Amino acid sequence: MDALGDKEFEDIVEKVSVYARVYPEHKLKVVNALKNKGYIVTGDGVNDLLL
């Protein structure tokens, strides 16, 4: 994930079904990319939900 820029990651974020054991900065990258695509992301950081 570190090797990809924000725009590059946004282009592929939906192709991954499960993100596991990610660092907080990676989680933020996933959340921001999904929000930019129009998804609603909510959760407490442990049990998150993607709509």
What is the DSSP code string of 1-51? -TTS-HHHHHHHGGG-S---S--HHHHHHHHHHHHHTT--EE--SSS-EE-
- pLDDT at res. 8: 95
- pLDDT at res. 31: 87
- pLDDT at res. 20: 80
Per residue in 1-51, pLDDT (tens digit) is: 889 999 999 999 999 988 888 888 888 899 889 999 999 887 666 566 555
- pLDDT at res. 27: 86
- pLDDT at res. 38: 94
What pTM value is reported for the model? 0.77
